Chains A and B, each alone.
Chain A
Amino acid sequence: MLKKILTVDDSRTMREMLRHTLSGAGFEVVTAEDGADGIEKLRESQPDVVITDINMPVMDGFEFIEKVRKSEEYNRVPILVLTTESAPEKKQRAQSAGATGWIVKPFDPEKLTRAVNRVMP
């Protein structure tokens, strides 16, 4: 069975880019538009790895990660943060929210795939 990745990003372009890259790398891809949508999709699709943006409407990435980590079911899923923000304090916040790793946009397809494989259970 294909490994499943949930990508959470409010930008349609980024969602399509991620889908393009990751499905090209042999993953099944589920997309969500914001944190709240992400929680929903997480329940529905039970992904192996989650990739999330930080700056999103409705529910941002920090809140999303915290929620996932608080849940009983999916708290151990690896979560990669994919963001344009490179400020150390943002990284710090993502990490303390419970992020597994982070990648700075724009992403190189190969690096992204490698980062995903790095945390893939």
Chain B
Amino acid sequence: MSLDDIKETFFAECADQMAELETGLHEIQSSGPDIDTVNAVFRAVHSIKGGAGAFGFAALVSFAHVFENALDVIRNDLNQVNEDRMDLLLRSVDVLSDVIEAERTGSEPDDTSGLANDLETAFGLAEAAEDADDGDDALADFAPVMIDLADLGVAGTPAGGSFHISFAPHASLYLKGHDPLRFFRELADLGTLSVTCDTTDLPKLSELSPDESYLKWQIDLETESAREDIEAIFDWVDGECALSIEETGAPAADDGASLDAFLQSLDESDGGIADIDDFGRDPEMEPADAANPVADLIGSLEAADIGAPARQVEEQADAGNSDDGSEDAGARAGKKEVKKASQTIRVESEKVDRLINLMGELVINQAMLAERIGQAGFGNASPAALALVELQNLTREIQSGVMAIRAQPVKPVFMRMSRIIREVCSATGKKAMLELEGEHTEVDTTVIEGLIDPLTHMIRNAVDHGIEDPEKRQAKGKPTHGTVKLSAYHSSGRIVIEIKDDGAGINRERVLSKAIEKGIVARDAKLSDDDIDNLIFAPGFSTAETITDVSGRGVGMDVVRQSIQALGGRVNISSEPGHGSLFSMSLPLTLAVLDGMIVKEAGQTLVLPVSAVLETATLKPGDVYTIGKNNRVVKMRNQLIPIIDVGRQLGFADKRTDFTKGTIMVVEGGKNGMGAFLVDSIEGQQQVVIKSLESNYKRVPSIAAATILGNGQIALILDCDHIVSHQASDPDTAVIQSMAG
């Protein structure tokens, strides 16, 4: 793994941390601070800072540092949370995310010092900032230790002299994994060393305790290094030993002394009791065991004495168990670990895409197999046909399994919207809160990706045009904070996402007059309230002059509708003046496979999404009425539904003369109402794999995609919404021709 890969990991992890951070702060905002959430939030920023430091992202480190300090204030005292501070923290999330993005793309990050100052002021970090400087000093303080180490090999300044060092480790030094020998080795690197081991405190064997420290050392060092270099070696054992370093000035008495001599002395001092060599190790090569000579000694004696190393192992095992069992924290940690085991694995999306493609091929293949079995004349009850049914069931299960891999909760997208709301609020001076519902609802990742832009625009719109100014809200007796509620749920194989605001609702009078002014509707048109509300989606309705800075960005609601339709979705609005609006969009759960109704029309095989078909009926002569010159409707369940002559509408069939034959399929076309699609016959229903046409043919009106049927034939999947909404206009005769070309 290269550093670039790790950098990629870092940014991927940043995204996770940002999500964690945003979720956490949101939680704190809505249900008050609790220490676990605050800790998680703190950790997220802390991790980002840590990683950023590793890659030298200075701007990111410095802002994350202030952010972290602010969170630390809350971490230390949960009562420190207040509304202004929360606002600042949430703004910091946005800025942090911008800085991360800037570092990722290698662009210059925006200046964050303004917000950093605000944070420092609001959280009383002015003092802490000084502390932080101290911290940096401490870091600098610390850093020389490392640099000195680096200097060791280079053998430093001519500041040296002779030193007498007296070194008496406390028992705690051994307990922290230190090995006295290592200090001698490092000292030996500084110059000429003479070490004497003082064993006078060593008690009789019977009184010897493995937990005590008995040995002391007197060291004479002649070196060119400075005193600090010597102190640095003992830096990590500050407080773990009695240490004195005296500059004697004069050359050390024992010139020939060396590490070897010391090792010998150590050997000698131990020699009478136990030989290190007994452990089968060369003391010079593996001096480790000298770290705990006493403990090792006792261990070996016990082993020899009782001759039961097995028992020792047992004890250790027991100790291990009781360690975990007796302590609450341990048990808790253990439980969490079990939970973690079933968490997640990371898979490249490419691999999943491949699986999905193969899945599609399997579905096609299965359809072909079904076709062959039919052609071979096997009956429905034949073993071959039954086996096919099994296969179909399995395929379906595998398919939903594969789809589940790609399914993601909408939460990350929803969380993003809270930022949008904050941005719009700060730009407009309005106050609004985001409320989430069903954010764990899952949908295919491609759908999620396509959702971001339209959702962003609708949220902006909801705050900018929907929510009133705080004063106005107050005057109306509403809470000053507006609420935008974002919810998601599954409904008959689709995901429905709703954006509900408690603002002013749509000003129908203004919408209508603007629509008339723009020539979108006729001056004398009679429109229902619903129709007027939906005018905001009409192409050309929103123009630059009607859009504020916030909602602007050159996109109108018609583009929002288009992008949702491109995902196979539809969008609706309903509004209650004075009480707010509800945007509701419904999208397919996946963009890979759909349940299709296979129909024949004028020799062509077409596919309609089953989810769009409300009912089917055979046309009877008395059901058809002609309205006006050429418009035919069918009366079904006391409702008049316009008949859409599909072949004619798509331009590949001549105008139908006989409206008494054929099959009617009542299709739901979003807010455009319903249409009765007239076709020759229904062939059946099957799962079809969606093959996009856009990459080869661009977007073809009225056609959503294509698919391959069991017999290998290619069939077009109809875009029902588009057909229903364009039924009145002239049939687009170019459709089929352009595709043939």
Contact = CB atoms under 8 A, between A and B. Distances in A.
A binds B: yes
Nearest to A106: B53
B177 A13 contact: no
B178 interface: yes
Contacts of A55: 42-43, 46
Contacts of B47: 10-11, 13-14
Interface stretch (B264-272, B314-322, B359-367, B546-554): B314-322
Contact of B176 (A10, A37, A59, A99): A99
A76 B174 contact: yes
A108 B50 contact: no
B336 interface: yes
Contact of B329 (A17, A53, A59): A59
A78 B135 CA distance: 25
A110 B15 CA distance: 29
B175 A14 contact: no
B568 interface: no
Nearest to B238: A95
Given A76-B291, A114-B146, A87 B138 contact: yes
Interface residues of B, number: 59
B62 to A, nearest CB: 13
B139 A104 contact: yes
A44 interface: no
A35 B330 CA distance: 10
A71 interface: yes
A89 B143 CA distance: 17
B177 A20 contact: no
Given A16-B9, A84-B53, A118-B149, A43 B320 contact: yes
B176 A67 contact: no
How many chain A residues sit at the interface, stated as a range, is 35 or more
Contact of A13 (B13, B179, B320): B13
Interface string B17-29: 0000000000000
Contacts of A106: 50, 53-54, 56
Contacts of A43: 320
**Chain B interface secondary structure, helix, strand, loop or mixed?**
helix
Interface string B136-147: 101100110011
A72 B146 contact: no
B10 A119 contact: no
Most buried by B among A10, A36, A91: A36
Contacts of A100: 176-178, 236
B337 A58 contact: yes
A102 B238 CA distance: 12
Nearest to B233: A118
Interface string A1-45: 000000000111110110110000000000001011101100100
Contacts of B40: 57
Contact of B138 (A20, A86, A118): A86
Nearest to A111: B146
B177 A77 contact: yes
Contact of B6 (A17, A78, A87, A111): A17
Contact of B150 (A87, A91, A95, A111): A111
Contacts of A35: 333
Contact of B142 (A14, A86, A98, A114): A86
Interface in B545-563: none
Nearest to A107: B54
Interface string B39-76: 11011001101110110100000000000000000000
B3 interface: yes
Contacts of B519: none
B290 to A, nearest CB: 10
B396 interface: no
A23 to B, nearest CB: 9
Contacts of B53: 84, 105-106
A36 B333 contact: yes
Contacts of A91: 138, 142
A103 B145 CA distance: 10
Nearest to A68: B177
B176 A71 contact: no
B51 A119 contact: no
Interface in B384-418: none
Interface in B708-734: none
Nearest to B54: A106
A3 to B, nearest CB: 11
Contacts of A107: 54
A16 to B, nearest CB: 5
Residue from A13, A14, A20, A72 whose CB has the most chain B CB atoms within 10 Å: A13
Contact of A103 (B146, B315, B334): B146
Contact of A108 (B39, B146, B288, B295): B146
Contacts of A10: 43, 47
B182 interface: yes
Nearest to B3: A20
B323 interface: yes
Contact of A70 (B174, B239, B323): B323
B306 interface: no
A98 B236 CA distance: 11
A11 B177 contact: no
A12 B323 contact: no
B176 A98 contact: yes
Interface string B286-318: 001001100100000000000000000001100
Contact of B146 (A40, A98, A105, A115): A115
A69 B10 contact: no
Contacts of A39: 333
A77 B178 CA distance: 8
A72 B177 contact: no
Interface string A63-87: 1000101111101111100001011
B186 interface: yes
B1 interface: yes
A83 B160 CA distance: 33
Contacts of A115: 146, 149
Given A20-B3, A72-B316, A105 B149 contact: no
A54 B51 CA distance: 14
A70 to B, nearest CB: 7
Contacts of A111: 146-147, 149-150
A69 B176 contact: yes
Contacts of B46: 55, 84
B176 A95 contact: yes
Given A105-B54, A118-B186, A16 B1 contact: yes
A118 B236 CA distance: 11
Contacts of B9: 12-13, 16
A101 B236 contact: yes
Given A36-B337, A63-B329, 16 more contacts: A11-B51, A13-B6, A13-B9, A13-B13, A16-B5, A36-B334, A55-B43, A55-B46, A71-B319, A72-B320, A86-B136, A86-B142, A98-B176, A105-B50, A121-B288, A121-B291
The 8 nearest A-B residue pairs measured at CB: A36-B333, A106-B53, A121-B288, A78-B177, A13-B51, A13-B10, A100-B177, A101-B236
29 contacts: A10-B47, A11-B13, A12-B13, A13-B50, A14-B51, A14-B54, A17-B6, A20-B6, A35-B333, A36-B333, A36-B334, A36-B336, A37-B337, A43-B320, A56-B43, A57-B43, A58-B333, A70-B323, A71-B323, A72-B320, A75-B175, A76-B174, A76-B177, A98-B176, A102-B236, A106-B54, A106-B56, A121-B179, A121-B288
